[in-house]
Each structure stands twice: as C-alpha cells, then as structure tokens.
Amino acid sequence: MSKIIQFLIKNSTHILAAFFLFWAVWGLLNWQDLLLIQKLILGLFALLVGHEYEEGYKERFFGLMGSAVGIDPASRKPEGILHVSPDVYIAVMFTLALIFPNVLWLSFACFFLAFFEGFVHTMGIFLFRLKGVSPGWYTAVIMAVYSIWAVIQIGKNMEYSGITWLWAFLWFFATFLLMEMCEHRALGITTAEFIRRMKAFAKQRLISISPGTPLE
C-alpha cells in the first residue's frame, strides 16, 4: 500500500472535517439563497464531525466495541482503517442531502442517523456498565436533540407527505447496513459473526446483572 493511501486512511476524519469546511464556506456564501432544510443539514453536519472526533478520542469507542467482540482494534492495519467507512458514509449522506434539498427523504435519513447515534451511545452506558458516559455520548445526545428541534422546524415551515419518513428510514437502514458491513470487514470478521458475538456479549451482561452489582 502506497504512503499516500496510508496517509489518507490515517487522516480520514481530518479529511472529513476539511470536506465539511468546504460545505460550510459554500453555505455561508450562499446563506440567503439556501433552503431551510439545507441550513439545518449543515448544522447537523457540523455536529456529526464533532461527534467523530469525540468518538475517536484515544480510540475509546473502538476499544469498547473491540472488547465486546474479542478483537483488539489497535491490531487492525493500516492505522485509522476503522474510521474510513463511517467518514465516507457521512460525507456521501450529507453531500446528497445538500445537493438535492427537494428530495426530503435524503435529509430525513440524516436525522435518523442522529437519533440512532443518541440511542446507541445511551444504551452503551448500560450495556458496558460504565461509570461515566460512553465515548461520543455528549455529541450524540446533542445531535439527537438538535434533530428533534430541526424536525419541528421543518414541520412548521415545510409541507411533505408521511411516506417521506418511510423512504428516509429505508435509505438510512440500507446505507448504514452497507457501511457497517464494510466496518466489520475492516475488523476482520463477517457481519453475521459480529452480530453473533455482540448477542453473546449482551446476553452475558444481562445474565450477570443483579441488584447491587457495581458498575465496572
């Protein structure tokens, strides 16, 4: 693998941040002409970039996931490979939402992502029995709250059919699953094996929970 490719992989989150800055500058220069949905998506994009940095700080999030499935993330090479799939996924999802603002389900799928992140990181506190919050929790919750507010604003100012949410969910589910499959491949296991190990981990945690059990 060439040094250029290794550099791009290692710095994928920084590249995502630079990509967001491009859109942010574009948004500021054209702010008066932007649709409400585009402004809201830019705000969520900013929060999600911050989330990627919080989640990736000292690789604590991948460390938790690795402990659940019995894989040391630090052993996966090249360095930074586990960040590539999420970063590319975010870049594509938000670019499509910004380029095609009238296709509302593309934007609504981004809100589904924010809701999902807030839910997953909150559940992670209980699943891993953490004393504090899970890595990425703060920005995940902020994103979820922001998305609720954004959806309310859209409901007040825009008209759309209820089927939009169905298309949004299907798009989110399909693309997120594809991203996760790429992530599992980077971990060196299949998606089916990842699910099997996570189910076994969750079952073990639930069985071990008893009144008065201290958090780890």
Residue 215 pLDDT:
41
Residue numbers of the domain that contains 104: 3-203
pLDDT of 24 above 90: yes
Q: Among 54-58, 90-94, 196-200, whose mean pLDDT is lowest?
A: 54-58
Residue 110 pLDDT:
97
Domain membership of residue 62 (yes or no) is: yes
Domain membership of residue 216 (yes or no) is: no
The alpha-helical segments, DSSP class H, found in 75-162 are 81-99, 104-127, 137-157
Q: Return all residues near 147 (Cβ < 8 A) that are at least 6 apart.
A: 44, 111, 114, 115
Residue 58 pLDDT:
65
Residue 88 pLDDT:
96
Q: Return all residues near 189 (Cβ < 8 A) that are at least 6 apart.
A: 69, 71, 197
Residue 59 pLDDT:
63
How confident is the model over 137-145, as a mean pLDDT? 94
Contact 187, 194 (CB under 8 A): yes
Q: Among 54-63, 110-119, 167-176, whose mean pLDDT is lowest?
A: 54-63
Choose among 38, 17, 147: nearest CA to 100: 38
Residue 119 pLDDT:
92
Domain membership of residue 161 (yes or no) is: yes
Residue 207 pLDDT:
67
In order of 1, 61, 142, 165, the CA distances from 56 in angstroms are: 24, 6, 17, 30
Domain membership of residue 80 (yes or no) is: yes
Domain membership of residue 208 (yes or no) is: no
pLDDT of 198 above 60: yes
Domain membership of residue 214 (yes or no) is: no
Domain membership of residue 66 (yes or no) is: yes
Q: Domain total for the chain?
A: 1
How confident is the model over 61-79, as a mean pLDDT? 76
Alpha carbon distance 63, 73 (integer Å):
6
Residue 214 pLDDT:
45
How confident is the model over 70-93, as a mean pLDDT? 86
Domain membership of residue 61 (yes or no) is: yes
